[in-house]
C-alpha cells in the first residue's frame, strides 16, 4: 500500500506541535514553512511519494 501525503503532513504537524512556537528559532521556522508549503502542494507531494516510495519502504 502506498503512503498517503496526509500521513506525512500529519507527522510534520505532530513534530511542529511538540516545539515552542518561535519563528525566530531556525528549526521551528524550517519545519513550519516546510509544512505550509507541502500542505499547499499536497497533490505534488502525493505524486512525488507515488513515484519514489515503494510499498513497504515506509512506516
pLDDT in tens, 13-42: 999 999 999 999 999 999 999 999 999 999
pLDDT of residue 13: 97
Instruction: Return the pLDDT at 5.
Output: 97
pLDDT digits (tens, 9 = 90+) for 42-58: 999 999 999 999 988 88
Return the C-alpha cell found at 40.
Answer: 499547499
- In this prediction the pTM is 0.83
pLDDT of 1 strictly over 80:
no
Reported for 9-17, long-range contacts at CB under 8 A and 24+ positions apart, including other chains, are: 9/35, 9/38, 9/39, 9/42, 9/45, 12/38
Amino acid at each position: 500500500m502506498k503512503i498517503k501525503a496526509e500521513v506525512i503532513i500529519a507527522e510534520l504537524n505532530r513534530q511542529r506541535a511538540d516545539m515552542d512556537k518561535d519563528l525566530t528559532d531556525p528549526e521551528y521556522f524550517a519545519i513550519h514553512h516546510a509544512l505550509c508549503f507541502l500542505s499547499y502542494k499536497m497533490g505534488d507531494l502525493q505524486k512525488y511519494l507515488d513515484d519514489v516510495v515503494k510499498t513497504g519502504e515506509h512506516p
